[in-house]
Amino acid sequence: MGNLLHDKKNKNTAFELFRAMAVTMVLIGHFAALSNDLPLIAKNILYSFNSYGLAIFFVISGFLLSASFTSLLKKQDKIYSAVKIFFIKRIFRIYPAYIISLIIFSAILISFFKYPVNWFDVFAHFFNIHNLFEGFSRSINGVYWTLAVEFQWYFFAPLDTIIHKIKHQNADCLIFSIYTLKRVLAV
């Protein structure tokens, strides 16, 4: 049993290292886009790291979240219980910091930049549906679109599980990873 836990920890560490690499690729891509000193060809090559980094990050995240949800399904008597626990864990992990940052960024935009943040902006961001409306995806903070994709995944993954009653867990994790990649590339 101790070896199993150790192996699981090593696997998660490896996934986290790949996600860190993916985030680094995104940062390189963003810095390249902002640089005025790079030749155009270097800028374009380095900016392409952004797309690959995003794809890698979301595929790994989708796989890990699928595995987490599948693990909850095994432990719970009912699918409803697993879905409820999954949502509660995800909401309490992300929403407190997200709401505080949403308030801070909205206040900064209104106070210092006279940016017209309206109630629909805040509503759409609060419920993580801002990427579904033209002009709202990056209206408060450009990076929030990733949270919208993530939260939509939190909704669709359990829904798909309920509909299909998972039989092949690894295949399901791969399918959700591919779905997430498809959503990212569509943005």
109-143 tens-digit pLDDT: 888 887 778 888 888 899 988 888 777 666 788 88
| Average pLDDT estimate for 144-162 | 80
The pLDDT value given to residue 29? 92
Query: Vertex 25, ends 23 and 27: CA angle to 5°?
Result: 70
Gap between the Cα atoms of 99 and 94, Å rounded:
9
Domain ranges of the chain: 2-186
The per-residue pLDDT for range 158-187, each reduced to its tens digit, is 777 666 665 555 666 666 677 666 666 665
Is residue 58 over pLDDT 80?
yes
The pLDDT value given to residue 140? 86
Gap between the Cα atoms of 29 and 47, Å rounded:
4
Q: Is-contact 29 45, C-beta < 8 A?
A: no
Q: Is the pTM of this model over 0.85?
A: no
Q: Is-contact 9 29, C-beta < 8 A?
A: no
